[in-house]
Amino acid sequence: MSRGDGERPSAAVLVTGNEILLGLTQDRNSGYLAREFDRLGFSLRRVLTVSDAQDEIVRGLRELVSVDLVVTSGGLGPTHDDRTIAAVAEVADVPLELHEPTLAAINDRTAGFARQRGIPVSSFEAGNRKQSLVPRGAYVLAPVGTAPGVVVALDGGALCAVLPGPPWELERMWHDLAREPRFSRLVERAGALDRQILRVYGTSESAVANAFAESGGDEGGTVTSICARRLEIEVLVRAEPAHRAALDALVAGLRERLGERIYATDDRPLEAYVLEAVGARGWTLAAAESCTAGLVASRIAAIPGASAVLVGGVVSYANEVKRDLLGVSEAVLAAHGAVSAEAAAAMAQGVRRATGADVGVSVTGIAGPEGGSEEKPVGTVFFHLSTPELEHGHHVVMPGGRGDVRDWAATTALHLVRMHVAAPA
């Protein structure tokens, strides 16, 4: 982990928090920071998670001091178990000092909060003072919530950026860090790598691996990762700018072999592609969902501007709802069952009728763990897409637990819409 001349700057993340070690909160900050380090061209060497105990944070920092930059997450609040600043001061071997401008800013913020909620302002005094203590000589990052971040050089040489735990606060403060001169010098030294992402749907990881090998692999100096995630396969090709030509050649080889299965070359969410595809036809969309119970509609609604396309949906979990709200006939339910191609078709057509949407997509399946049969095992899911131009059914048997089946079923429905609403060539 040594800081080498001419090498990419090295980085480490220290995540603090008992709730993370206990599995009560899932760590989101190290993933965010890892992606940011990769984007900026840092080499991330370690991610370490420690408890809230000051000696654990100190030990963690000492393990990491040989990198260029350590970023810590969490433990900046007003309570007794927020000890990161004290631990960082200990490792930097400097005392804590009151930072008056921060105290004034926090007092201001908490006074407004106290007034709104009818809480005595005095109850914030001790906490505000604690949060305004910073290591001597530290660069102070203005609070996003109520705690400031700091940037300080540790004894051992690493620059340490101390950021808050709540992900939205950490992300905002990470961007503010760009103004800190020592950090921006490291960013300058790093220089971003050239990179190209290819997102592939409708084929196997092995087929992508074969296409990669046939295209020459990483022989030309690229560094490629192939990762299956949420039913798609993500290929990330990275290269030093000097190897740009190798990156372009590899990407061209993958494009030639994977063709239309590459559906995206950026990291916009799948749902944005669905909205774009339906919107490009001037159509609207509605979902009829049984086992996914609203996941499809909810995922689309997460994208700003969804209202231009999404008109609504029906959560038709019970057969009566499939019948009464979507018009799935008793005959279909009796002859084929609620989990069938026929029921899925009737649901998609029914939701178009019920909402007036141009496009209806339906999902009906057995998420498990009970309810499977030999003919229709757990994981069996039927889909149907109904548009002004086509009726298209699809059926899969998915592995995985209830949560996976529901998530993957929603993802499959979204891909179905994305792939089949495009205008005929």
- Footprint of ligand ATP on this chain (CB under 6 A)? 15, 17, 19-20, 25, 27-29, 73-77, 82, 145, 147, 164-167
- CA geometry: angle at 382 spanning 377 and 386, to 5°? 175
Select 82 or 342, whichever has its Cβ closest to ligand ATP.
82
Residue closer to ligand ATP, measured from CB, 129 or 257: 129
Smaller CB distance to ligand ATP: residue 25 or 123? 25
In terms of CB distance, is 29 or 215 closer to ligand ATP? Answer: 29
Beta carbon of residue 149, minimum distance to ligand ATP (angstroms, whole number) = 9
Name the H helices within 96-166. Answer: 100-117, 125-131
Nearer to ligand ATP, 76 or 88 (CB): 76
3-state secondary structure of 102: helix
Whether 393 contacts 384, CB under 8 Å: yes
> Least distance (Å) from ligand ATP to the CB of residue 131?
8
Contact 384, 391 (CB under 8 A): yes
State in angstroms the smallest separation of the CB of 49 from ligand ATP. 8
User: Measured between alpha carbons, how far is 247 from 250 in angstroms, rounded to an integer?
Assistant: 5
Q: Which is nearer to ligand ATP, 51 or 290 (CB)?
A: 51
Rounded to whole angstroms, the Cα distance separating 245 from 219 reads 12
CB 425, min distance to ligand ATP, A: 45
Q: Are 287 and 296 in contact (CB under 8 A)?
A: yes
Between 147 and 328, whose beta carbon lies closer to ligand ATP? 147
Among residues 72, 283, 69, 99, the alpha carbon closest in space to that of 185 is found at 69
DSSP 264-304: ESS---HHHHHHHHHHHTT--EEEEESTTTTHHHHHHHTST
Q: Is the dihedral of CA 177, 179, 182, 188 positive or negative?
A: positive
